[in-house]
């Protein structure tokens, strides 16, 4: 008697239970084959975007949770950054060139000018602590404050403009120290050559050296963040290259200007070399910062919402900064150590090589 029972239709091979990153098959196989398949699948599960080596053409990998650039339904609002022109990068980094001119004036002519006021060489070393001190304290603080800024002008521009104005005022008041102090005491009939005028002139100059360094470090921190924020991700290297070029141009112009007898050609700016150099630095900084801030539009930081409240004040900020130094990776610590010892040798050279 023939058996007329219908043959069981074979189960489809390779049917997926779900569309997640793991796959289970319904087909019945010997236990050895299942073990081999499981081992291969465990080796192949490296990325949901890579087809496993053991996957056959009969059971293609299907991933519904991962968007595909070719699937318009699952790929919305693809964010591609626009490539900026070289002129854009020049305008973006132009202000750092003007800032470097101001730096070069202080570095190359600050020591001779202070010595001409009667400051002793031992006191001069104390004065130049202003540079590293302001860099250590001001730059990280300005960076954090500008990150939290929600001004309609942008995150960085208020600090750039504020630092530039403070730098300009400091340069002018520093260059005309003698005239300002003597004219002030002249109102009270005090002799311009008296010891009082001499001491006050030194205190005035030292005070504005510190104000100048704190102002320069404010604008420097803001400009660096400004460049990073506004340069496209794929053009960060180009932006950094242009920033280095602008810094080099500023240094060259600043130091070469000190070589020329400026009062002879630009006497209307001042009757001494230092006065004319300060006026040149003021004009360069004001023009370059103005061009960069006007031509480069920052994203409105108000769109990011209100930043979380900051706990503590200035002191707690620096305490947390000190703690974060202990959590640095070993490689970063080594870089910081190299920078520390390199600047011990380089910084005195910058100030004491000039006469």
Distance CA 17, CA 51 (A): 17
**Pairwise pLDDT comparison (289 vs 36), residue with the higher score:** 289
Confidence band for 14, pLDDT divided at 50, 70 and 90: very low
Residue 65: its pLDDT value, please?
A: 42
Q: Which of left, alpha, beta for 24 (phi over 0: left; psi -120 to 50: alpha)?
A: beta
What does the DSSP 8-state code read for residue 23?
A: -
What superfamily does domain 86-306 belong to in CATH? Answer: MFS general substrate transporter like domains (1.20.1250.20)
Judge whether residue 105 has pLDDT over 70: yes
What pLDDT band is residue 125 in, cutting at 50, 70 and 90?
confident
For the cut 90, the answer to whether the pLDDT of residue 8 exceeds it is no
> Confidence band (pLDDT; 50, 70, 90) for 37?
low
| pLDDT (tens digit per residue) in 260-282 | 999 999 999 999 999 999 999 99
Confidence of residue 252 (pLDDT cuts 50, 70, 90): very high
CA dihedral defined by 91, 301, 149, 247, rounded to 10 degrees?
A: -20
Return the pLDDT at 80: 75
**How high is the pLDDT of residue 121?**
84
Q: Which of 159, 161, 155, 153 is nearest to 139 (CA)?
A: 159
Closest CA to 287 of 134, 183, 168, 125: 168
pLDDT, position 248: 95
The answer to whether residues 83 and 235 touch, using CB atoms and an 8 Å cutoff, is: yes
Tokens of 60: 């293609």
Q: Which has the higher per-residue pLDDT, 284 or 63?
A: 284
- pLDDT tens-digit readout, 277-322: 999 999 999 999 999 999 999 988 888 878 877 777 777 878 888 8
Name the residue among 128, 80, 81 with its Cα closest to residue 107. Answer: 128
Show the tokens assigned to 2: 């023939």
Q: pLDDT at residue 145 above 50? A: yes
Locate 65 and state its tokens.
């949770």
DSSP string covering 93-128: HHHHHHHHHHHHHHHHHHHHHHHHTT--HHHHHHHT
- What is the pLDDT averaged over residues 134-139? 88
pLDDT digits (tens, 9 = 90+) for 174-233: 999 999 999 999 999 999 899 999 999 999 999 999 999 999 999 999 999 999 999 999
Q: Where are the domains of the chain?
A: 15-66, 86-306
| Better-predicted residue by pLDDT, 299 or 26 | 299
| In the chain, % of residues over pLDDT 90 | 50
Other Cβ atoms within 10 Å of 241 Cβ, number: 13
Percent share of the chain, pLDDT over 70: 77
Average pLDDT value over all residues in the chain: 81
Nearest Cα residue to 99 out of 205, 222, 260, 209: 222
C-beta separation of 261 from 111 below 8 A: no
| pLDDT value, residue 35 | 53
Rounded mean pLDDT, 59-82: 48
Q: Which of 255, 247, 258, 166 has its CA nearest to residue 212?
A: 166
């Amino acid at each position: 008697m023939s058996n007329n029972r219908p043959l069981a239709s074979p189960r489809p091979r390779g049917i997926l239970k779900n569309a997640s990153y793991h796959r289970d098959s319904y087909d019945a196989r010997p236990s050895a084959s299942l073990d081999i398949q499981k081992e291969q699948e465990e080796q192949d599960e490296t990325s949901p975007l890579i087809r496993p080596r053991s996957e056959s053409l009969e059971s293609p990998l299907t991933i519904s949770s991962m968007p595909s650039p070719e699937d318009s339904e699952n790929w919305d609002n693809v964010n591609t950054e626009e490539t900026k022109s070289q002129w854009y990068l020049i305008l973006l980094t132009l202000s750092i060139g003007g800032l470097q001119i101001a730096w070069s004036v202080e570095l190359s002519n600050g020591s001779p000018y202070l010595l001409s006021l009667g400051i002793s060489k031992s006191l001069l070393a104390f004065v130049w602590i202003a540079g590293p001190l302001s860099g250590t304290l001001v730059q990280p603080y300005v960076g954090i404050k500008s990150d939290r800024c929600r001004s309609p002008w942008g995150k960085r521009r208020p600090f750039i403009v504020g630092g530039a104005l403070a730098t300009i005022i400091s340069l002018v008041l520093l260059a005309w120290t003698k005239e300002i102090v003597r004219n002030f005491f002249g109102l009270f009939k005090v002799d311009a050559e008296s010891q009082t005028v001499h001491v006050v002139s030194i205190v005035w100059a030292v005070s504005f050296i510190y104000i100048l360094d704190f102002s320069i470090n404010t604008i420097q921190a803001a400009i660096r963040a400004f460049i990073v924020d506004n340069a496209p991700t794929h053009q960060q290297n180009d932006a950094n290259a242009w920033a280095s070029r602008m810094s080099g141009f500023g240094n060259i112009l600043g130091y070469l200007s000190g070589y020329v007898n400026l009062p002879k050609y630009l006497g209307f700016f001042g009757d001494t070399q230092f006065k004319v150099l300060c006026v040149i630095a003021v004009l360069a900084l004001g023009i370059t910062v103005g061009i960069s801030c006007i031509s480069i539009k920052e994203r409105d930081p108000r769109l990011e919402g209100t930043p979380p409240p900051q706990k503590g004040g200035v002191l707690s900020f620096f305490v947390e900064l000190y703690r974060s130094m202990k959590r640095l990776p070993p490689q970063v610590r080594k870089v910081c150590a190299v920078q520390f010892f390199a600047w011990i040798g380089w910084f005195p050279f910058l100030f004491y090589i000039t006469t």
